[in-house]
Structure 1
Amino acid sequence: MGDIRRRGAVALGITALVTPLTLAAGAGTAQAAPGCTRSAGPYQKQVEKFLGRPVDGKQSTADCKAIRAFQTKHGITPDIGYAGPVTWGVMNLMNKQKAVGKNPNKAGKCPVNKGRIACVDLTLQISWIQDGKKLVYGPVPVRTGRDRYETRTGLKKIYWRHRNHVSTLYNVPMPYSQFFDGGQAFHSVGVSMWNPPGSHGCVNMTPKDAKAYWSLLKNGDDVYVYGRKPGT
């Protein structure tokens, strides 16, 4: 279920508008660096603020380089430095995740009467482990199922763990797999947690977080998945 091959441009509540590559030749306020567009995007000011750039709504060579570096890091295509909705969507989600702080279950949506439980908030794309009301680990960013491959919601249980699992469906490594619903599992991947459009249903994690979940959870532990991933 872990998808580390296909990269798309649709994610985080945005279903369209992939910037045409022809924008690289568009009019702008500065000479573009190689591979960079000179056009200011519709989210130019928001993206500039997120990246700590001067907020003037005008594209500069330095702006484009910074935006492009962010896009390349997180697998956002085309990575030409255009401040479009996909790029801003990723940044906006990061802001929302950061705002959660150390109280991810503030709304009480993940059960506190189950003892140790792994919670997955699809809306914010975060996960954590709690024991009653006590936060044990996280919250951490995760990458869940894309449109038509959604991570299924509800109360589950970890039923099988395989440290060096390889997907028989996609023939890709799924280290530290902990399966909780059919072929859906927690496991580590080698791409950014904000890499659109998402997994094939699994809850992708960084290697560090997947290892921590492996050490903190066991067969029979509860998993609760709720919310809805933007764009699904």
Structure 2
Amino acid sequence: MVKREMVKRGTVKRGSVKRGMITGALVALLASTFAACGTEPAARSAPEADASPAAASSASSSASPSAKPSASAKPKPKPKPSPTSGPRLFGKSDSGDNVRDLQARLKQIGWYSADVTGFYGNVTTEAVSGFQGKRGIAVTGFVDQTTLDRLYAMTREPTEAELTNAPPPVPEGKLDPRCMSGRVLCIDKSTSVLRWVIGGTVQTSVEVRFGSQELPTREGQFSVFAKSRDHVSTIYKTPMPFAMFFSGGQAVHYSPDFAANGYNGASHGCVNVRDYDAITSLYNQVNVGDGVVVYWS
């Protein structure tokens, strides 16, 4: 009897332990599950059951959404007024020094690429319109005081060369001693200038372009060994008008590409000239056997 009592008590004890372990594990599992669901909403206190009607009404009204606009709401920006123009000073179909000055100044800042003519035509109108639109000025195509003031603030007084479309002066440079006697095409790489020198006196100066780093123009003292007025390169199949050869396939010649694109490019090793009239005159003066000196000053 005593033995069965002990066993029964032991069984109950073991069962209680098991149920207690299961219940505890279930509670822990539920707690961890809900804790992982996300941030809980902020707790809101409900009115007590025995609270007065006024208190309940107050609590209810505080829970209702506010009718006031959010403090973070920003008012819509007011539209900017469209720019207005001032009185017309000059514009399409006008001509004169004012127009010439206008075109030269627009050319300084890249809004006008044609020759300065002094006549206000379609090209000038387009240039002025583009300048006005870029600066937030009323786009009219004609010049008012606002447009003129802004243009003057961005430019300088045009030079005589700019007003008359004259080429810029060729930069001066130091003649190599090897150019001081005889007839020599003296080609200075440091200033990109070719000088035609006779007896130490410069006869003509022209701007030139040279080969790239991969295909450089050779330096040294040479002589003209061949001339070809309408030459075409057998390697690159490109025209080389008024070619005067001085070192292998390298020659002084006219370059349409140099004339069109300037120094935004390079030759295949030749000395390019972009002034057509100058190279024509030079070709007629230079003889086979005349000297060529390519150097850095």
TM-score (norm 2): 0.42
- Of 191, 198, 207, the match for 2:257: 191
CA deviation digits over 1:139-169, x for unaligned, max 9? Answer: 1111111221111111010001111111000
* Partner Cα separation in structure 2 for residue 156 and residue 204 of structure 1: 17
* Partner Cα separation in structure 2 for residue 166 and residue 214 of structure 1: 16
* Partner Cα separation in structure 1 for residue 199 and residue 107 of structure 2: 45
Structure 2 residue 243 is the aligned partner of structure 1 residue 164: no
When residues 113 and 98 of structure 1 are mapped into structure 2, their CA distance, relative to the original with a 3 A threshold, is closer
When residues 215 and 99 of structure 1 are mapped into structure 2, their CA distance, relative to the original with a 3 A threshold, is closer
Structure 2 residue 211 is the aligned partner of structure 1 residue 145: yes
Structure 2 residue 245 is the aligned partner of structure 1 residue 179: yes
Q: How many residues align?
A: 140
Detail structure 1 runs of 4+ shifted over 6 Å in the superposition: none
Structure 1 residue 129: Cα displacement: 0.5
Native 8 Å contact 1:110 1:119 kept in 2: no
| Equivalent AA in structure 1 for residue 281 of structure 2 | A
Partner of 2:284: 215
Native 8 Å contact 2:170 2:193 kept in 1: no
Structure number with greater CO (CA < 8 Å, separation at least 6) is 1
When residues 170 and 113 of structure 1 are mapped into structure 2, their CA distance, relative to the original with a 3 A threshold, is same
Partner of 1:121: 188
SS in 2 for 1:164: strand
When residues 53 and 130 of structure 1 are mapped into structure 2, their CA distance, relative to the original with a 3 A threshold, is same
- Of 269, 286, 289, the match for 1:201: 269
| Equivalent AA in structure 1 for residue 181 of structure 2 | K
Structure 2 residue 134 is the aligned partner of structure 1 residue 65: no
Native 8 Å contact 1:164 1:175 kept in 2: yes
TM-score (norm 1): 0.53
CA deviation digits over 1:33-78, x for unaligned, max 9? Answer: xxxxxxxxxxxxxxxxxx74699xxxxxxx4534xx49xxxxxxxx
Native 8 Å contact 2:242 2:253 kept in 1: yes
Runs (5+) with no aligned partner, structure 2: 1-103, 115-167
Native 8 Å contact 2:223 2:292 kept in 1: yes
SS in 1 for 2:197: strand
* Partner Cα separation in structure 1 for residue 107 and residue 241 of structure 2: 41
* Partner Cα separation in structure 1 for residue 265 and residue 279 of structure 2: 20
Percent of residue pairs identical: 28
Q: Whose strand proportion is higher, 1 or 2?
A: 1
How large is the RMSD of aligned CA atoms in angstroms? 2.9
Runs (5+) with no aligned partner, structure 1: 1-50, 56-62, 71-96
Native 8 Å contact 2:224 2:292 kept in 1: yes
Greater C-alpha Rg? 2
* Partner Cα separation in structure 2 for residue 143 and residue 110 of structure 1: 22
When residues 203 and 65 of structure 1 are mapped into structure 2, their CA distance, relative to the original with a 3 A threshold, is same
Native 8 Å contact 1:114 1:222 kept in 2: no
SS in 2 for 1:174: strand
SS in 1 for 2:178: coil
